[in-house]
Amino acid sequence: MGQRKPIVAGNWKMNGSSELIKEIAAVSTQVSGEQREVLIFPPAVLLSEAISAGLNCGTQTVSEFESGAYTGETQATLVKSLGANYTLVGHSERRSIYGESDEDVANKFAQAQQSGLTPILCIGETQAQREEGKTEEVVKQQLEAVIKKLGIASLANSVIAYEPVWAIGTGLTATPEQAQATHKYIRDLLSGYDEQVANALRILYGGSVNESNSELLFAQADIDGGLIGGASLKPESFKAICESAKG
């Protein structure tokens, strides 16, 4: 990991409450600092409350449009004005359930950066794609959609989250070796564009990370922390995962 400060990010999805905000804020105070960055993605309606509680926050998605007649969308500039620092873009649930294309994700990435948010670009393959040996092809295509639109330099102000879709919420987890192999592929691919950007870029692993597997995952050379789903809703589990990420 070297010079890269790990991130442990909790994606609450459509879960959470005022009570959970208080509990996670207490945990975050104990585990944030020099060794790691702790980050929470609550539902948009809880974002302001979470920030007021002292949490380092992002939103789970933003609109690709700056403003306008887009009912129900989340405006990146407004998210930034609330005090959030990050947004997820291209989470597999946004891609699969809401039909976001690689182009849509690149547009959201651009809008996030334009608004002063740091995008966490989520990439990863399905079970079928892995079985067909297409993991590298899929993540390359998802990365290059952003590079082609914005250039490799745009990734200097971003984070990547590799999430094998087959391991999200299923209880299945890529082995540390499987995860490391894909993380190394991502870093090597980006090194072909710009070695300095690639070496500094934080690449998180997501997919059924819990307190029993996080230490081995985070110990891998190219894994710089995790994007945590279900376990981020359990304060003690989330605390243990955070403590296993050491810069």
Binding-site residues for substrate: 11-13, 169, 208, 229-230
Amino acid at residue number 1: M
Choose among 203, 168, 154, 196: nearest CA to 182: 203
Choose among 200, 119, 186, 188: nearest CA to 158: 119
Amino acid at residue number 10: G
Residues forming the annotated binding site? 11-13, 169, 208, 229-230
The three-class DSSP label of residue 2 is coil
Is residue 183 annotated as a catalytic residue, yes or no?
A: no
CB neighbours of residue 110 within 10 Å? 18
Q: Are strands 159-162 and 225-228 parallel, antiparallel or unpaired?
A: unpaired
Phi, psi of 193 (to 5 degrees): -90, -50
Q: Which residue matches tokens 């547009």?
A: 107
Amino acid at residue number 67: S
Is residue 137 annotated as a catalytic residue, yes or no?
A: no
Helix 176-191 × helix 135-150 angle, to 10°? 40
Which position among 91, 93, 100, 183 bears the catalytic label?
A: 91
Instruction: Spell out a b/e string for 216-238, using b for 16 or more CB atoms within 10 Å of the CB, else e.
Output: bbbebebbbbbbbbbbbbbbebb
Distance (Å) of CA 97 to CA 92, 101, 207 = 8, 11, 17
Joined together, the tokens standing for residue 199 give: 């070496």
Q: Which residues form the catalytic set? A: 91, 163
